[in-house]
Structures are given as C-alpha cells and as structure tokens.
C-alpha cells in the first residue's frame, strides 16, 4: 500500500516541478532583406506592359542594358512576352548576349517553358545567320 501512495505522490511532484520550470530558450533573430536591382524597363517587360515598354524605348531606354544580370530580351524570353520580344528585336536587342549566369535569352526561354519566345529567337537567329552567308 505504501508503494501505491508513494509512486503517485512522486509522479505528482515531478509533474508539478516540470510544469513550473521555465524553458531555457535562446532565440536568435535574423533580419533578411531581399535586394534586387531590376530597373523599371525590365519590370515592365516581366509584367507584359507593352505600352510602357514602347514609351520607354521611345524615350531612349537601352534594349541591351543589363538589369540584375539579364538583358531586356532575357526577361521577355523568360516570361514569354512575345510582342515585347519582337519589339526589342526590332530595336536591336542582342539575342546572343549572355547573362551573369552565362545564359542567353534562348536558354531562359527554354528553361521556363516559353515555347513561343524560344521559336521567335530561333527564327531571328536563323535569319541573321542566313543574311551573313549572303
């Protein structure tokens, strides 16, 4: 009988002691800040805002200037913005240029499943190659 009273009493004391114990937490806080330098020209391309892209080109935006390591044509290819891509090509976009990650606009189109943009780039490069042969 003593065992049946002592064991629950000890268990009760231990449970009260653990319930009142303060946890020993050492919380570390980290401040994370995402920082991307994408210019408004490339943001407009990514969003598919053809009208803004046309205005920016008319105001002298460089169709080959890199933003966050990528050219405007790469953004157009990546997001399958075919009309914008054609506009950039018309204004002299360099489709052979490489990003900071050593990829071309065609590679971005292929990686992101932008089939239409990839086809436009392939056709344009083939036409340019044919013109050089003549």
| Domains recognised in the chain with CATH numbers | 40-133 (1.25.40.20)
For the cut 70, the answer to whether the pLDDT of residue 12 exceeds it is no
pLDDT in tens, 42-81: 999 999 999 999 999 999 999 999 999 999 999 999 999 9
Strand partners, 67: 70
What pLDDT is attached to residue 22?
58
In the predicted model, is pLDDT for residue 83 greater than 90? yes
**Cα three-residue angle 53-97-104, rounded to 5 degrees:** 90
Q: What is the pTM of this model?
A: 0.72
Sign of the CA dihedral with 96 first, then 97, 100, and 105 last: negative
Mean pLDDT score, 96-102:
95
Q: Residue 126 and residue 120: Cα distance in Å, rounded?
A: 10
Mean pLDDT of 116-125: 96
């Amino acid at each position: 009988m003593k065992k049946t009273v002592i064991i629950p009493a000890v268990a009760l004391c231990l449970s009260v002691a653990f319930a009142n114990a303060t946890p020993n937490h050492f919380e570390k806080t980290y401040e994370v800040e995402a920082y991307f330098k994408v210019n408004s020209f490339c943001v407009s391309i990514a969003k598919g805002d053809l009208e803004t892209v046309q205005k920016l080109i008319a105001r002298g935006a460089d169709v080959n200037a890199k933003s966050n390591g990528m050219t405007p044509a790469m953004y157009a290819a990546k997001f399958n913005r075919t009309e914008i891509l054609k506009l950039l090509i018309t204004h002299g976009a360099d489709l052979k240029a490489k990003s900071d990650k050593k990829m071309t606009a065609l590679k971005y189109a292929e990686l992101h499943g932008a089939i239409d943009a990839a086809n436009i780039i392939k056709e344009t490069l083939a036409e340019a190659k044919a013109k050089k042969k003549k």
